[in-house]
Amino acid sequence: MNAFVLLLCEAPFCCHFVEFANTVAAKVDRLRSWQKAVFYCGMAVVPIVISLTLTTLLGNAIAFATGVLYGLSALGKKGDAISYARIQQQKQQADEEKLTDTLEGEL
């Protein structure tokens, strides 16, 4: 069932015999990446919780992997080194200011 739902959502041209395939695919395409990630990972975890066997794990690995990939795409690109260094420098300056304020308060 999970494989059919995954195929219906991701490749509706393979299910041309199902009348509502294009409607389902259009609705899934409107979802954000993180929503697709939650849907696919949740869809894969439910059978594993019900029956933890090797075949269940292997059978739902594809759906879970698809959810993980959508989740990673929802996180976006990794930040560049310049903006990361700028954020670290601002944090360091804020920490130094707090330290000097506490030291001045003790005197």
Q: Where are the domains of the chain?
A: 2-57
pLDDT at res. 83: 75
pLDDT at res. 107: 58
Provide the mean pLDDT of the chain: 83
CB atoms within 10 A of CB 28: 17
pLDDT at res. 87: 84
Sites in the chain below the pLDDT cut of 50: none
CB 22 within 8 A of CB 12: yes
pLDDT at res. 60: 87
d(CA 18, CA 16): 5
How do residues 26-37 score in pLDDT, each as one tens digit? Answer: 888 888 888 888
